[in-house]
Amino acid sequence: MLKNRIFKRIFTNKTSLVGFSLVLFFALVALFAPLLAPVYNQNNPYQMPQKNYQIAPQPPSAQNWFGTTEQQYDLYYGVVWGTRLAFKVGVTVTFFAFLIGLFVGGTAAYFGGKTDETLMRLTDIVFAVPSLVLAMVIAAMLGPDIKNMMIALTAVAWPSYARLIRGDILSVKQRGYVTAARTLGARGPRILLRHILPNSIYPSVVVASLDIGYVVLTAASLSFLGLGAQAGTADWGQLIAMARNWVLGTAQNPFAYWYTVVAPGGAIFLFVLGWNLLGDAFRDILDPRQV
């Protein structure tokens, strides 16, 4: 029934359809990146090719479809492989953050009392600093690298899932069928794994997976600040950081280097837009008051 509702909502509502198509499009680009932009460096496909060592960006041409950015990095290659990197970062971070959140939230809700209090205060601590600031500080201390960036992002993302899952489990814990299972003599772990989790986890899974857009946005912010990907990596945030030196153009033509901002900026905008539109659709579906 839920499945029907999802399909109906997505395919009858225009904005949801746009969101779905955008996400699907980017997923295909990520999947077929090696075909769309042949790998340049076999050891590290995320390394962008450099045409030569000239500094100033070059406008779009037959050879470089989106033009080149600072130091002649090919923007088309950067955008295509940046899509793949965005999915890699978004999915990995969300997955691990969710796993940690599930463990912490589940433990807190199941044991209650002092355990609950301690774990929830721990989430308070992480919540006490804006997530971008905390991620920035952690990434800085670990050193600029994609892997460290993902660790920093995971470290700031899990508490919201822990809270979410804790709340869901606490509400399901009160239901009749849990009491029924308990009276029938089922033991703790069985109740948790067979009765509580399957009934409380799905909304959180959906919420978490829709956060991929937000995670990618934060990752791009870190790279933009020079605390994410290393120089030359096909990363949207870094491409935009490179464009920073060229936004003012030349004296004759202030928009001379527009493509250095628009190519990676457009990609990240459409990517996040797609996830946001999809997120709105799912929020409506999951909110029973809307039906």
Partner 1 sequence: MLRYITRRLLLLPLVILGVTFLLFFLTQRLSPEMRASLYVKDPRQMGSLEEVIRRYGLRDSVFKQYGRWLGNVVRGDLGYSPSANMPVARAIKEYLPATIQLAFVTILLVVFFGVWFGSTSAVHKDGWQDIAARMVSVGGFSLPIFVLGLLLLMVFYGKLGWFSTGGYSFHTDMVIHGGSFKTYTGLLLLDAVLNGDWRVFGDVLSHLVLPSVTLCIGSFALMVRVMRSSMLEELNKDYVRTARAKGLPETAVVYKHAGKNAIIPVITLASIQFIRLLGGTVIVETIFDYPGIGRFGVLAAQQLDIAGILGFSLMVAVLFVIGNLLSDILYTAVDPRIRLD
Q: Which of 29, 59, 56, 78 is nearest to 231 (CA)?
A: 78
Q: Supply the minimum distance, in Å, between the C-beta of residue 207 and partner 1.
A: 16
Q: Supply the minimum distance, in Å, between the C-beta of residue 172 and partner 1.
A: 23
- The two tokens of residue 259 are 């493509």
The burial of 257, by beta-carbon neighbours within 10 Å (0-12 exposed, 13-18 middle, 19 or more buried), is given as buried
User: What size, in residues, is the chain?
Assistant: 291
- Give CA–CA dist 148/140, Å, rounded: 9
**If binding is defined by CB under 8 A, does position 142 make contact with partner 1?**
yes
The single residue among 220, 242, 278, 281 that binds partner 1, judged by CB under 8 A, is 220
Q: Supply the minimum distance, in Å, between the C-beta of residue 216 and partner 1.
A: 10
**If binding is defined by CB under 8 A, does position 130 make contact with partner 1?**
yes
**If binding is defined by CB under 8 A, does position 117 make contact with partner 1?**
no
**If binding is defined by CB under 8 A, does position 268 make contact with partner 1?**
yes
**If binding is defined by CB under 8 A, does position 17 make contact with partner 1?**
no
**If binding is defined by CB under 8 A, does position 226 make contact with partner 1?**
yes
**If binding is defined by CB under 8 A, does position 162 make contact with partner 1?**
no
For the segment 23-62, give every residue that binds partner 1 (CB under 8 A).
none
For the segment 230-259, give every residue that binds partner 1 (CB under 8 A).
237, 240, 243-244, 247-249, 254-255, 258
- The two tokens of residue 186 are 């089922």
Footprint of partner 1 on this chain (CB under 8 A)? Answer: 15, 121-122, 124-126, 128-134, 136-142, 213, 217, 220-221, 224-227, 237, 240, 243-244, 247-249, 254-255, 258, 261, 265, 268-270, 272-273, 276-277, 280
